[in-house]
Amino acid sequence: MTRAGREPVTAGHLGMWLAVTFGLCMITGLISHGIQHPPGWFHWPSRPVNLYRVTQGVHVISGIAAIPLLAAKLWSVAPKLFERPVVRSLPHLLERLSLLVLVTSASFELLTGLFNIAQNYPWNFYFPQVHFAVGWIAVGSLLLHAAVKIPVFRRALGEPREPAAQRGPGRLVSRRGFLGVTALSVGTAVTVTAGMTVPWLREVAVLGTRSRLGAQGLPVNRTAAAAGVLDSAQDTGWRLEVRGPRGVRTFSLPELESFTQFTAELPIACVEGWSQQAVWSGVRLADVLRAVGAPADAQVRVSSLEAAGPYSSSVVAPTHAADPLTLLALRLGGEPLHPDHGFPCRLIAPNRPGVMQTKWLRRVEVL
Ligand SMILES: Nc1nc2c(c(=O)[nH]1)N[C@H]1C(S)=C(S)[C@@H](COP(=O)(O)O)O[C@H]1N2
Ligand SMILES: [Mo]
């Protein structure tokens, strides 16, 4: 008799669900990476406005779901992991090594991702690069492992079911119990995470520490004080510098306010998993670009008052720069921007990661 959860068919099913969650995680992770570091062939549209919100939500939620699945899977194959002799043959050694790589890289991805959504960075490597690179290792070794195991899984599925008399009531209950506990853990983990991005689940989003805080009812990732822009952002001498084919122009806040103002309801969708809709108003980026003679398909860079760093500037691709919903926002919910949300002026564009919605703008340049 096998212990609950240790039947090959259970391990096989868990493996299949792990492959599904890791597959979703990899695809949505590649999308997020592509938007932030676009290779030449990559195109990300500006509509639908909530698409990135959904893909990044799926990224975080599928990663969270994979944690209890991986734990259950390790439990279900635990005796095999500690089998003796450790090495039986060369193929066996290779299989074990690939398994070691798979378990290590998969655990690393899930763990670093988990810390990341809790906005906790207890390491000193640059998270996106390492998470991206190890992602390839995890998915590569997962594919290899699946290829080796598919025949085993097939066989387990095709095995005749034991007659009920042999199964015994205790055994049946414990196997169901094992799968039940796994499903319950996955459900709980998903529920408490989904609240970071699904409004009616927000109250139970225990991981989304930041998704409930923030001025003007919107979370804040980096405050004006933390970015060191409290004084420069409130300076009455502030001007927005706009560089285009026709030269450089500068605009004061009242001058920006004298442009036609537009309002757009757009989400901030943070790569860390939280997202929230808000009502923004300000000047259309396309209108300002026209004022400096930029072509309709201009690509631009927006830069912050914040000192150089990974978040102090971002590139706005032509589709986004031309989109009428892309604003140099001056207001949030009808009020002037709070310093923490980018006063006096921030970028807000449809279907873009939060990390590229640059705050405290100082310069817009046509590339
Ligand atoms: N200059 C600057 N802009 C920035 C950031 C930053 O650190 N510096 N953080 C970005 C990130 S990661 C997010 S999710 C959004 C959050 O916007 P909010 O604080 O107004 O909600 O701002 C973005 N803009
Ligand atoms: Mo973010």
Regarding whether 196 and 108 lie in a shared domain, the answer is: yes
**Ligand 1: which residue has its CA nearest to atom 20?**
341
As a whole number of angstroms, the distance between CA 186 and CA 249 comes to 54
pLDDT per position as a tens digit, 301-319: 999 999 988 899 999 999 9
pLDDT at 207: 63
| Structural domain includes residue 236 | yes
Closest to 109 measured CA to CA, from 143, 126, 132: 132
Residue 211 lies in a domain: no
**256 and 181, same structural domain?**
no
Any domain includes 353: yes
Ligand 1 atom with the smallest distance to the CA of 226 is: 7
Of residues 336 and 197, more confidence is placed in 336
Q: Which pLDDT score is estimated for 175?
A: 81
CA angle 302-47-289, nearest 5°?
35
Pocket test for ligand 1, best of 355, 356, 361, 363 (most atoms within 8 A of CB): 355
Rounded to 5°, the CA angle 267-117-110 comes to 130
Checking if the pLDDT of 359 tops 90, the result is: yes
Asked if residue 229 has its Cβ within 6 Å of ligand 1, the reply is no
Determine the residue of 311, 330, 347 to mutate for testing ligand 1's pocket, defined as the one with the most ligand atoms within 8 A of the Cβ atom. Answer: 311
Distance in angstroms (rounded) separating the CA atoms of residues 136 and 121: 21
Question: Virtual CA dihedral for 14, 20, 24, 25, nearest 10 degrees?
Answer: 30
Q: How far is CA 357 from CA 110, 142, 167, 271, 321, in A?
A: 26, 35, 58, 11, 12
Pair 229, 316 in one domain:
yes
Is the C-beta atom of 116 inside 6 A of ligand 1? no
Is residue 290 a part of any domain in this protein?
yes
Task: Tell me if 56 CB under 6 Å of ligand 1.
Answer: no
Spatial separation of the C-alpha atoms in residues 292 and 149, rounded to whole Å: 61
In a domain, 77, yes or no: yes
Ligand 1 contact, 359 CB (< 6 A)? yes
Residue 214 placed within a domain: no
**Which ligand has its closest atom nearest to the C-alpha of 356?**
1
Q: Among 154, 173, 204, which residue terminates a domain?
A: 204
Instruction: Domain count for the chain, please give it.
Output: 2
**Residues 182, 272 share a domain:** no
Q: Round the average pLDDT of the chain to a whole number and report it.
A: 90
What is the Å distance from ligand 2's center to 51 Cα?
16
CA of 219 to the centre of ligand 1 (A): 10
Q: Is residue 215 part of a domain?
A: no
Instruction: Specify the higher pLDDT residue, 120 or 180.
Output: 180
Distance 325 CA to ligand 2 centre (A): 20
- Residue 41 has a pLDDT of 96
Does residue 186 share a domain with residue 107? Answer: yes
Ligand 1 contact, 305 CB (< 6 A): no
CB 199 within 8 A of CB 218: no
Cβ of 304 closer than 6 Å to ligand 1, yes or no, is yes
Residue 262 has pLDDT above 80, yes or no: yes
pLDDT (average), residues 28-42:
96
Q: Are residues 166 and 48 in the same domain?
A: yes
CATH number of the domain within which 229 lies = 3.90.420.10
Q: pTM here?
A: 0.92
Q: Tell me the average pLDDT across 138-142.
A: 94
pLDDT digits (tens, 9 = 90+) for 271-306: 988 899 999 999 999 999 999 999 999 999 999 999
Q: Are 229 and 191 within one domain? A: no
Q: Residue 227: CB within 6 Å of ligand 1? A: yes
Residue 20 is predicted with a pLDDT of 95
266, 335, 359, 363, best to mutate for ligand 1 pocket (most atoms within 8 Å of CB): 359
For residues 28 and 163, state if they share a domain.
yes
Given this model, what pLDDT does residue 197 score? Answer: 73
CB-ligand 1 contact for 275 (6 Å cutoff): no
Residue 167: predicted pLDDT: 53
Q: Are residues 195 and 237 in the same domain?
A: no
248 and 184 housed in the same domain:
no
Q: Is 357 in the pocket of ligand 1 (CB under 6 A)?
A: yes
Q: Which token pair is 159?
A: 């095995």
In a domain, residue 218? The reply is: no
Residue ending a domain, among 204, 236, 266, is: 204
Judgement on whether residues 74 and 126 belong to the same structural domain of the protein: yes
| 56 and 188 housed in the same domain | yes
Ranking 60-74, 173-187, 289-303, 318-332 by mean pLDDT, the lowest is 173-187
pLDDT surpasses 60 at 162: no
Domain holding 243, by residue range, is 224-366
334: Cβ contacts below 8 Å, ≥ 6 apart: 279, 281
Q: How far is the CA of 221 from the centre of ligand 1 (A)?
A: 6
- What's the CA-to-centroid distance between 323 and ligand 2, angstroms? 22
pLDDT at 164 over 70: no
